[in-house]
Amino acid sequence: MQSSTSSNDSVLDANIAQAASASSVHAHEHGPDLRMFGFSLFLVSEGMLFVGLFVAYFAFRASAPAWPPAGTPELEKFMPSVFTAILVASSGVIYLADRALLKGDMGKFRLFWGLTTLMGLIFLGGQAYEWANLTFTLKSGLYGGTFYVLTGFHGMHVIIGIILQIIMLIRSFKAGRYTPESHYGPAATSVYWHFVDVVWVALFGMLYIL
């Protein structure tokens, strides 16, 4: 059904409809696409997981005598900032991919989509490099524990995002799989990617700057 009809329908919803024509009943049968709504709720839940971990982090940090603990050097900030910039920029790039998809320009969509994936991979590489070169480990008290668990959790989300992107990219080569009207997969993936980005910005602030 046309989107105009279904929005009209929801207006009717609020009132007591006196006469139900056959067409409006039919319109109601199909209803709006609720998948994006559901997915946003999922992200709310995911967000609460991070909020819980963040609050725990601050509680631990508040109870520690020194942060980072004596003997542990401050985190190196320069390279992580560069990788952060890349990840944040990739949010813009995936937005461009979205726009291209809305216009039906599949070539441009694939270009920007692939570029996002690449930027995500670079971020992950940077993350892996940093993990490999840190002087502390998961077991180094609260400082090490929170650092690895938080960045690890986020990294896991980046990996899931990249996998989703690769799947969408492959599917996009099938003609008509994604159209300006119907592209729930890429749309959800891109919302997810923005979410992962926002979480990282918060994490970066907490772990590196504060």
Q: Shortest distance, CB of residue 46 to other proteins, whole angstroms?
A: 7
CB burial string 194-203: b at 16+ within 10 A, e below: bbbbebbeeb
**Binding residues for other proteins, total number by CB under 8 A:** 45
Least spacing, CB of residue 1 vs other proteins, in Å: 14
State the binding string over 68-87 for other proteins (x if CB under 8 A, else -). -x------------------
Question: Is 184 among the residues that bind other proteins (CB under 8 A)?
Answer: no
Report in angstroms how near the CB of residue 89 gets to other proteins at its nearest. 29
Distance CA 146, CA 116 (A): 28
Q: Does residue 35 touch other proteins according to CB under 8 A?
A: yes
Residues that bind other proteins (CB under 8 A): 9, 12-17, 20, 24-25, 28-29, 31-32, 34-35, 37-38, 41-42, 44-49, 51-53, 55-56, 59-60, 62-64, 69, 138-139, 141-142, 144-146, 149
